[in-house]
Each structure stands twice: as C-alpha cells, then as structure tokens.
Chains A and B, each alone.
Chain A
Amino acid sequence: KAGVTQTPRYLIKTRGQQVTLSCSPISGHRSVSWYQQTPGQGLQFLFEYFSETQRNKGNFPGRFSGRQFSNSRSEMNVSTLELGDSALYLCASSRLVRETQYFGPGTRLLVL
C-alpha cells in the first residue's frame, strides 16, 4: 500500500505571498493531520481533518488554513507568508481519528 504523499517536496516563496500544500493520505485513511517542524519550535500540531470536517486545531494564526476533500486528500494554505513560516510541513494520515498516524516525507518551505 502506498504511503502518505506530499506535494511539492520543496518550495521557495517570498514574504507576502501565499502557498498551498497538498497531502494524499494512505488509501482507506480518512483522518489527515498537519504539523509544522522548525529547529526552534520542534514539531507543532496545526490541524486535523476527518470526513471533510476540521476536528482539532493548534495554536496558529488564521493565516494558516486547511481543508479536506471527499476523497480524503487535504490541502493546507498559508496566506501572507512571513520569514518565520519557513519550515518542514508534515502531513500524517490515520484510518480513524484515534488510530496511529503515519507521516509523509514533508514539504520544505523556504520564505525569503
């Protein structure tokens, strides 16, 4: 079974721009979560979606948003990018909300 896939793998943007990251979960998985990983803050939870509904949200500003489609694929959007948004963004999927999460390879975003 194919793992979690994330596109693009690498991205360079400038301050003020917006970006959309995509995540395709493992087949049959209906829950998708997003995390931000930075050297200073470590791994921080962004949000979790299940059946197209946001179930949980971390402590990030409203510039960070997401959605999930009927096929469980998910997108994350960051508007008005700031230098501090440079990070590795990881997506994880699980069959159900309470089950083990499996991570994708991440999208590395650099904001200049």
Chain B
Amino acid sequence: AQSVTQLDSQVPVFEEAPVELRCNYSSSVSVYLFWYVQYPNQGLQLLLKYLSGSTLVESINGFEAEFNKSQTSFHLRKPSVHISDTAEYFCAVRDFNAGGTSYGKLTFGQGTILTVHP
C-alpha cells in the first residue's frame, strides 16, 4: 500500500525567511502528487498538484514543489513566508497502479504545522 511520510511535524520559521516542507512517498510507477493546506477550523484547500509534465509546479501564492522520481520526494518550498502562511500542510498521493482497495485512493501524510513568527 502507498504511504506518505512528512519528515517534520512542526516547522517554525521567521517571517520573510525561506521554508521547505519535506514529503516522501513509497515508490510507484505513476502517481499523482498534491499539497493541501488546512487553516484552523477549516477544510483542506488544494495548494498545488503534480499530475505529469514539468516536475516543478507552482501555486498562485508563491509556493512551489518539485517532483523527484528517483528520490520519491515532493518537497514544498517558499522563498519568503508571510504570517498568513501559518497553517497545517498535507502532502498526498494518489496511486492508480495499486490493486484492490488501494486503487486511486488519496493517501495523506501526517501533516506539517508551519508556524511563521514575526
């Protein structure tokens, strides 16, 4: 079964500093990769996704993630964070090669709480 590991449960950072949230997934022939963000008491919002094509994907608010097939990673980066980026971030994988009940299932990592300090 597919698994997703977010290597840091909490990441504190100062405003305007760069940040990287790490995500690794178990190997598969082809997967779709996502980052979702969850603000307090809200649902998940899609931040960015990799389906195919360019391995570097960007969001409208300055985040980017790079799909690295050889390292099975999809790390999220932002060169300069804002206070408003404080939230929990989830990496997720959809695997359409697994059989049985794992087919197409969206599997989430445990989440990384990003706290931006002034």
Contact = CB atoms under 8 A, between A and B. Distances in A.
Interface of A: 4, 6, 33, 35, 42-43, 45, 48, 55-59, 90, 92, 97-98, 100-106
Contacts of A92: 44, 106
Contacts of B51: 100
A78 to B, nearest CB: 19
A58 B34 contact: no
Contacts of A106: 42-43
B46 A100 contact: yes
Interface of B: 32, 34, 36, 42-46, 49, 51, 90, 94, 96, 101, 103-111
- Which 3 A-B residue pairings sit nearest by Cβ, starting from the closest? A43-B108, A103-B44, A105-B43
A33 B106 contact: yes
A37 to B, nearest CB: 9
A56 B46 contact: no
11 contacts: A45-B106, A55-B104, A56-B104, A57-B101, A58-B105, A97-B104, A98-B104, A101-B46, A103-B43, A103-B45, A106-B43
B115 to A, nearest CB: 17
A55 B94 CA distance: 14
